[in-house]
Structure 1
């Protein structure tokens, strides 16, 4: 099959991938279902399960663009976290919240990295088809609603201590000497009358400090739930946010940890297969890949900006309802067509 991807297909799927990757609704699921519903050349050109599919090479480019957008959005945080990792290795200690969070992210990424190398081709070949994808999308919606219901019941029973969840109550915010340079400052007077200036921690740093208190095994289990996203229709962010909620993180902290976890995974998945775009699979579609990647990056940046605020006060329940409705509608459409 000759490589073909229209500019309209590239623009629509690029924008869709960027937005859906971070919303708990499965970007891969939508990238499979939308072409199948439209049919015609869309179903033929955008078949991710086809051998040597140019669509797969196209999606690789979109993943790299999505990861870059997330790195840009969280750049201050990644500099701080990477600094913590470097100092931890150099000094052979794990003492600060940044050092501990850095290692949690490293270790929690290992399970999905190994699973992706072993299972990605198998799952894509066997399951990346419209009907199984629609079924998994319904399952994704059910899981989102079930997690929210468990969280609500636990909060009603007193397991949560307020909007910040149990993790927020572990300790009061502390003053950090390594906070961002542009953060508000506080004057600290020593016992001998000396005066020093420290910066107050930002909301992001306070969130990371709470997440860094997760037990190592819990963080690994949260990271491992990203393996579920290898099933088309199951959302990566939905799985990690949901498992974070079950670990008694607040919605805000669980979403932030999920986005930080997803960034290296999405980037690695794209970079490892970036060679496909240089080879025959990329012939004739590199311009479309560039267009789709730009739209995907913009969509991802806008999405993460919106979702970090959305999860400060709201739940995943509306996304669960959407997934059930969209999956069921697709199954009905496929049965009638």
Structure 2
């Protein structure tokens, strides 16, 4: 891979993984727009590992605190402590991906073989789920934090997350949308979405790694390391500044971007 291609894809992954604009859709569209061949599965894995490291580093204190609280709740059989409750809700919200991930993954594999169909799907989901994000942000009460979620709410967010395997949907976008529908503040919805990304990316990366090992393709380790390192930097900065400013800027800029992106794709395809 050319260095500029590695930097471009790492930037796209690092920025879009945690913004509500779809990383999978952008990773598919970027090589099409710039005339590159679709990047290898190994490179996709490396990019996701970079963003995983970023979100785990950013929320390292929360991860340690929740892990300890969850383990203590198992020992004491008391699950009402806020950190333990949040940890269990993240585990619960991950279950729909476990159950629905593999069936929905086959949809993505079929789409990757048809660039035109991919573009149309990304356009439709960018616009459709962008409008849903706007509605949730506009109509949501924005009065709760992530510690207030119950098991029904966690499952609802988890089911919505499973849909995000369809390109253009955006994992962060659909989970933030669901959390806003439940009355969370923008920052709380984003924090829950980012914490939920950790087990999700670990599972997705594990499945992709198994596919990679079974394929037995040659690996360009320098490209993978550079891509992972750059996506880590871009993702960490994105998380930091997104959470810092989201209460002030609202979701509207991302909604507008999604609608414009979908419109441009439709014009290019047709």
Q: State whether TM-score is above 0.5.
A: yes
Aligned in 2, Cα 1:71/1:269: closer, same or farther, shift over 3 Å?
same
SS in 2 for 1:11: helix
Give me the whole-angstrom Cα distance separating, in 1, the residues matched to 2:19 and 2:137.
Answer: 19
TM-score (norm 1): 0.74
Residue 35 of structure 1: how far off its partner (Å): 1.1
Q: Which has the larger radius of gyration?
A: 1
- Given that residues 15 and 235 in structure 2 are in contact (C-alpha distance below 8 angstroms), is that contact kept between their aligned partners in structure 1? yes
- Given that residues 127 and 231 in structure 1 are in contact (C-alpha distance below 8 angstroms), is that contact kept between their aligned partners in structure 2? no
Aligned in 2, Cα 1:84/1:324: closer, same or farther, shift over 3 Å?
same
Specify the alignment match of 2:177 in structure 1. 242
Specify the alignment match of 2:2 in structure 1. 6
* RMSD, aligned CA: 2.0
Specify the alignment match of 1:294 in structure 2. 229
CA displacement 1:178-229 (0-9 Å, x = unmatched): xxxxxxxxxxxxxxxxxxxxxxxxxxxxxxxx32222211111112211121
TM-score (norm 2): 0.91
Specify the alignment match of 1:65 in structure 2. 50
- Show structure 1 runs of 5+ residues with no match: 48-54, 168-209
Is structure 2 residue 14 aligned with structure 1 residue 18? Answer: yes
Matches within 5 A, 1:160-175: 160=141, 165-167=142-144
- Given that residues 70 and 301 in structure 1 are in contact (C-alpha distance below 8 angstroms), is that contact kept between their aligned partners in structure 2? yes
Tell which deviates more after alignment, 60-69 or 265-274.
265-274
Matches within 5 A, 1:143-182: 143-152=129-138, 154=139, 160=141, 165-167=142-144
Give me the whole-angstrom Cα distance separating, in 2, the residues matched to 1:255 and 1:301.
Answer: 14
Is structure 2 residue 251 aligned with structure 1 residue 331? Answer: no
Specify the alignment match of 2:30 in structure 1. 34
Equivalent pairs, count: 268
- Given that residues 142 and 320 in structure 1 are in contact (C-alpha distance below 8 angstroms), is that contact kept between their aligned partners in structure 2? no
Is structure 2 residue 96 aligned with structure 1 residue 111? Answer: yes
- Show structure 2 runs of 5+ residues with no match: none
Give me the whole-angstrom Cα distance separating, in 1, the residues matched to 2:249 and 2:68.
Answer: 32
